[in-house]
Amino acid sequence: MKVILYRPQIPQNSGNIVRSCKVTGAELVLVRPLGFKTDDRSLKRAGLDYWDGVSVTEIDDLMTYLEVLDTTFYFFSSHAKQLYTDVSYDQDCSLVFGSESAGLPAKYLEKWPDKFVTLPMQNGSRCLNLSTAVGIGIYEALRQQNFF
């Protein structure tokens, strides 16, 4: 399984997501530009020295990446209608999440509307914290696979 973060901005969120990836064996893909540096010194200064052991890849173009991906993928978005529990995740799927402030660009919803899922929330709620949403997505996918 891969977690793809589109232009993440808050290092603490990404750090928490890395920890979730580490304990679940998920890979992490970061789409640049990032709101933080990922060099060893910067990560250690932010207390995020547990990135060791997690496969982390940085890319520049999410559209191109997804167009050649040979596995399933789903976008998590508050703009989706389909519940995250209504799709089938396989062990090689990718879960895509937007940035903390801007989410995902509309072009992805326009191109792949059937690949968008949402987490249910109370009316009037904007969105969940990014690392919380990622954790929910990862563990639903794992639940469907009988947890490893």
Residue 60 phi/psi, 5-degree rounding, is -105, -25
pLDDT value, residue 134: 98
What's the distance, CA 123 to chain centroid? Answer: 23
Distance between CA atoms of 85 and 103, rounded to whole angstroms?
Answer: 20
Which CATH entry fits the domain spanning 2-144: 3.40.1280.10, 2.20.25.90, 3.40.50.720, 3.40.190.10?
3.40.1280.10
Give the chain's residues under pLDDT 70.
Answer: 40-50
pLDDT value, residue 47: 42
3-state helix, strand, coil in the chain (%, to 5): 40, 20, 45
pLDDT value, residue 126: 79
The pTM assigned to this predicted structure is 0.94
- Write down the domain spans for the chain: 2-144
